[in-house]
Amino acid sequence: MEAKYDFERKYRKQILQCSRCGYCQAVCPIFGITHRPSFNARGKMLLLKEVMDGKIDLNEELIDTLFQCTTCAACKENCPSGVNVPEIIKQARKDMVNIGSCHPAFTGMNEVLQKNTNIYAEDEPEDFGRERNKKADYVYFVGCVGLYREDEATEATLDLLDRLDVDYTLVDEACCSGVLEDVGHSINTDLADKNIETILATGAHTVITGCPYCYRTFKNKDAYAPLREKGIQLVHMAQFLKDLDISVTTDLKVTYHDPCDLGRHCGIYEEPRQTIRKIAPNFVEMAHHHADSLCCGSGGGVRGAFPKNSLKMARHRLDEALDVQADVLLTECNSCVHNLANAKLRKDKIRIMNTTQFINELMEEAE
Amino acid sequence: MDIGGYNMPEDLYYEPNHWWVKQDGDLLVMGMDDFAQKLAGEIVYVQLPDDGKKITAGKKLAKVESGKWLGKVIAPVNGVIDSVNEELEENPGLINEDCYGKGWMYKIKPDDAGDLSKLITGAEALTKWINEEIEKYADTE
Q: What is the mean pLDDT of residues B45-71?
A: 90
- Whether residues B68 and A311 touch (CB distance < 8 A) is answered with no
Work out the percent of chain B whose per-residue pLDDT is above 70: 97
Residue B139: per-residue pLDDT: 65
pLDDT in tens, A316-336: 999 999 999 999 999 999 999
Cβ proximity of A335 and A299 under 8 Å: yes
Whole-model pTM: value is 0.92
Residue A212: per-residue pLDDT: 97
CA distance A241 to A271: 8
Where is average pLDDT lowest: A241-250, B78-87, B95-104, B132-141? B132-141
Query: B119: distance to nearest CA of chain A, Å?
Result: 26
Q: What is the mean pLDDT of residues A267-281?
A: 97
pLDDT in tens, A37-72: 999 999 999 999 999 999 999 999 999 999 999 999
Cβ proximity of A128 and A170 under 8 Å: yes
Given a cut of 60, whether residue B141 has pLDDT beyond it is: no
Residue B27: per-residue pLDDT: 96
Establish if A305 touches chain B: CB-CB under 8 angstroms: yes
Residue of B45, B50, B86 lying closest to A311 (CB–CB): B45
Establish if A108 touches chain B: CB-CB under 8 angstroms: yes
Cβ proximity of A352 and A360 under 8 Å: no
The most confident of A102-111, B56-65, B97-106, by mean pLDDT: B97-106
Q: Which residue of A has its CA nearest to B48?
A: A346
Computed over every residue of chain A, the mean pLDDT equals: 95
Cβ proximity of B78 and B56 under 8 Å: yes
Q: What is the mean pLDDT of residues A210-225?
A: 97
Given a cut of 90, whether residue A260 has pLDDT beyond it is: yes
Work out the percent of chain A whose per-residue pLDDT is above 70: 100
Cβ proximity of A311 and A339 under 8 Å: yes
C-beta pairs of A52-56 under 8 Å, 24+ apart in sequence: A52/A3, A52/A8, A52/A12, A52/A15, A54/A1
Given a cut of 60, whether residue A302 has pLDDT beyond it is: yes
Of A312, A230, A243, A263, nearest in space to A32 by CA: A312
* b/e A293-305 (16+ beta carbons within 10 angstroms → b): bbbbbbbbbbbbb
Residue B140 — very low, low, confident or very high, per pLDDT cuts 50/70/90? low
Q: Which residue of A has its CA nearest to B93?
A: A308
Residue A194: per-residue pLDDT: 97
CA distance A119 to A96: 21
Residue A126: per-residue pLDDT: 75
Cβ proximity of B126 and B10 under 8 Å: yes
Residue A107 half-sphere exposure toward CB, CA atoms < 13 A: 10
Given a cut of 80, whether residue A251 has pLDDT beyond it is: yes
CA distance B50 to A328: 18
Q: Which residue of A has its CA nearest to B88?
A: A345
Establish if A122 touches chain B: CB-CB under 8 angstroms: no
Establish if B60 touches chain A: CB-CB under 8 angstroms: no
Given a cut of 90, whether residue A186 has pLDDT beyond it is: yes
Residue B136 — very low, low, confident or very high, per pLDDT cuts 50/70/90? confident
B-chain CB neighbours of A108 within 8 Å are 68
Task: Using CB atoms within 10 Å of the CB of residue A189, give its burial: 0 to 12 exposed, 13 to 18 middle, 19+ buried.
Answer: middle
pLDDT in tens, A95-109: 999 999 999 999 999
Residue A127 — very low, low, confident or very high, per pLDDT cuts 50/70/90? confident
Residue of B48, B50, B67 lying closest to A304 (CB–CB): B67
Given a cut of 90, whether residue A124 has pLDDT beyond it is: no
Q: What is the mean pLDDT of residues B53-82?
A: 91
Residue A284: per-residue pLDDT: 98
Q: What is the mean pLDDT of residues A146-171?
A: 95
What is the Rg, in whole angstroms, of the alpha carbon atoms belonging to chain B?
Answer: 14
pLDDT in tens, A130-144: 999 999 999 999 999
- Whether residues B68 and A105 touch (CB distance < 8 A) is answered with yes
Length reported for chain B: 141
Main-chain phi, psi angles of A79, to 5 degrees? -85, 115
Residue of B44, B50, B86 lying closest to A307 (CB–CB): B44
B-chain CB neighbours of A307 within 8 Å are 42, 44-45, 65-67
ipTM for the complex shown? 0.81
pLDDT in tens, B12-30: 999 999 999 999 999 999 9
Mutation for A interface: B39, B42, B44, B84, most A CBs within 10 A = B44
